[in-house]
Each structure stands twice: as C-alpha cells, then as structure tokens.
Chains A and B, each alone.
Chain A
C-alpha cells in the first residue's frame, strides 16, 4: 500500500440524499465515530441520524454563566464589605441591589466565553490542515454539495465492499481520501 487510506468520500447534490445515506450507513453497521457527514448549511436531523447529538456546549455555557456571575457578585461583596468597607453617606456596605448589574453582565460574558471554547474544543478547531482538504471534490462541501465520509479505521471498512456500498447510494462521485 502506498499512502494509507483515510477513508472513502461520497458526494451528493441534495441534503435529503445525504440524510438517507447516513441512515443507510448506520444500518449497514458502520460506527457513528467512524462516519462523518458534511454540509454547506446545518441540516436538521443530521446529528441525530449520525447518533452524535449531545449537549456539552450548553452545559459549559451554564457553567460559565453561573461561575462568571457568582464570582463577580462575590468579588463586589468581598471588596466593598470585607476588604475595604467605606461609609458612603450611611449606605450599607453590602448594597446588594446595586451589585447586580455588573454580575449580570459577567454572567453573559463568561457564558459566551466558555461556550466558544467548548465549540472550538469539541470541534477540534483550529486545525488548518486536514486530509480532506487534499480532495478536489471536497472544495464544494462549503459551497453547495453534501458529503459522506466513511473512515478507514472502521472495523467494518473494506476498500472494495465499502466502495460498492457507497456506489449503491447513487452518489455523484465516490473518491478516496488519503492520509498524508
């Protein structure tokens, strides 16, 4: 074998074809971790069909929201009432309603900050180089076509049988993607 095979890539013109292809591939026994679908816009139900749906991003956003808000509120209380209390016209050192606005803003900011980190970490981005980028067909994945990739590391993968299976889905093309 020359270059090791990364996987086989089938190209479709319609989102519905891709959805059917993903369901067929799962039925065929390919593992969710070893197949991947690509589309130029978010296709409803694709993640469910692939069996990869989860909610880690919302979870980390919730952690960021609670952590950011609680820490800011705590800091306001500690700095104004404990560390350096100042008597301003007899107002209570712990002016709890006045401490809410900064805490609200930091709740939002930290939810978004942790959220974007969760998106990037979960999607394993940034990654500017990938075997797929060597594929000429794949250039259309971000413009107008839909792709199904079956990776070579799937236990059921067999270059000839997988090729035949992908051809049976009536794609526009089936091409090899090699690891460089």
Chain B
C-alpha cells in the first residue's frame, strides 16, 4: 500500500510544482512586488478588513495615479492569514518566490515568526504600530522596522497621560489584554512603570478570540481599578466595551491602545461607548486629506476601490493600512534614491527604510499632512517617531482630547538595548555596530 502513498504524493507534488512554476512566470521582471498579508475572514475580520482595504487601496492608487514608483510598476497579491501565525508563515513562504521587497503582516505573532527568517531572505518587515518592541534597535534587527510606534511607547504614553490627572501613587491600573504576543508585549514596561510610579498593576488576560469576558469584568467591578487599559483586537474590543457597560465601569476611565480604538470597536456598543478613550497613532479618522480625495477620484469614482462602501475611506484602521502601504512605498522610493530608479531588491529597500526621512513638507506632498508626525529612521532607530495622543469617542465620531506625548527614551532605550542583546545572544549572531553603519 505504501507505494500508493508515494505515487499519489508525487502526483500532488508535480501538480503543485507546476503551479509554482506558473506562479513564477506570472511575476514579471519589471515590477516591484509588494505582498499584502491580510485577514478578511474569521474572528478578527471586522478589524482586519478596513486595514487591508486601506493597504491595498494605497497600492492601487500609486498604480492608477502615479503609474508606479519612479516609473516602476507595483505588483501586489493578497494572502489571507486569518490572524493565525502558521498561516501567515505559509503566506510568507508562498509569496517569497515572487521576490517581494517588504512584508507588513499586521500581526505581532506573525512578526515574531518572521523575524528569524527575514535576514536570511533579505526581505524587509515593516510593522507600523505593532510587532516586537525591541526591534527598534536596528543593530540587532537589521530587517525589522517597527515604524511610527511600538507597544512599549504606547504603554509609556498611556501612563504619562493618566498621570496628568493626578499622581499614580497607590492607584490601581488594570491591563485587559489579548492573550497572545500582541497583548503581552506591553507588560514589561507597565511592570517597570508600576514600580517607579507606585501604582498596582492588575493583569487580566482574555483568551482568543475574546468573546468570554464576563469573569474579567466582574473582577474589575470587585477590584475597582482607577484605569483600565485595553489591549485587545477584533471582536475582543467591542465585547470589552459592552461588558464594561454591563458592570457599570465608567468608559471615561478606559483607554485602548491604538488597535483598540477604531470604529468597529465602539460601533457595536453605539451611544453607550461614549467617553471611551483610545490612543491615536498619529492619526485618527481623518477623511478629508488630499490623499482621501485622490482615493475617491482615482479609485472609488471609477468603481476600482477595494472597500465595500465609500464611507470606509478615512476610518481609523483604513488610514492605518494606507499609511503602512505608504511607508513601504516611501522606503522603496528612498532606496531608489541611492540605487537608481529601477526595480530594487529587498536588501536595497532595507537601506531605504533605514534612511527614511519624511519631514513635514514631504508629508504634505504625500497628502497625509496631520495624519502622521515627521519621522526619520536610522540604524539605531528603526522606529522614526514615537509620538501619540488620545482620542475619545463621542458617540458618533473620534475627536482628539489631548496634546502630543512622546515616550520616555530614558526609560525605554535601556530596556530595548537589553532585550535586543538578549535576542542576539540567544540566536548566536553578531549585532551590527550602528556607529559604523553609514
């Protein structure tokens, strides 16, 4: 019987091989390939869909409006990950054969899985607003770019913000987090801050997918923390807000990280979510920038848009997906500035991403003025900018309710260094010395 196994397997493999070849042929030589790891199904689809739409729309816009980057066409392909690490890994392997320059997996779990692989494959990993916090250190993480902000910044900024309302000494802060690498990421910083600021930290994990939170919120009702930080994703966020309502926890004292502060999170609770706060990663739900007008003009008026409804353009997560794609495109452009206006490789885009300089004028030219802060990356700083502010849901829309905060480098820098060095030691590789990198 066993030969049969082999035979059938061989057939299957031959079939798959043929497909692989066809796939290779499809990728044309004069295109820059940008893969889109998305999730449009499953428990995280409500949040995954707008991000994916924004990401893909920006690539489409570059194609339709500019004809590519410096005359080089952009090709893209979506791959569904379902927010599952192994499926993301599969997508990475599948799309790798098309010579992609940069991945944006939109999942901290997938980021962790890919971090070990990208240096060997020479592919850039742009994790705008998520991913592994210590990868800010480009010495150890050459190919990983947690641009715009990491969860360590977010934790620090949230604490800074609640501190403005009075000393935290003797106060209680509850962290309600998604029980995955994503949700666990801020814990080291919050623990360090709880020591220095003197507040008590309650850690309340919520299991995937996050629809079971009754017990969590009963605990909150009993412990009566002064603030709740919500580190959720997908359906977990809206459930958390609903459960908060069910135990009468004041929404004003709730703060979501920037992934727990978008329309799909608050809309299911409708008016009752009023007063709920969240971090805004540079942008909120701006929808009248030149970039949005271009989206409508070049894509939606021609029926080419990805989103099901035109109104989705400009929603919080749509904007973030758009900015992620923009950072990828700008990294490509920056690489072309050094290596020539041709189809660049992943290795060249690494240089581009490491020398990205988006100042206010450039952001204005890109049409995203006011949606992100000027940023500049370098070998020792793969993040570029570490600022955020608070926005609050008023029952129908988000509006800013605080000034800009910048995370405390004195606190975070040593932690990043220690953690990144530990990673290098674990993986037994030599870190780059950033003082010698031009």
A and B from one complex: no
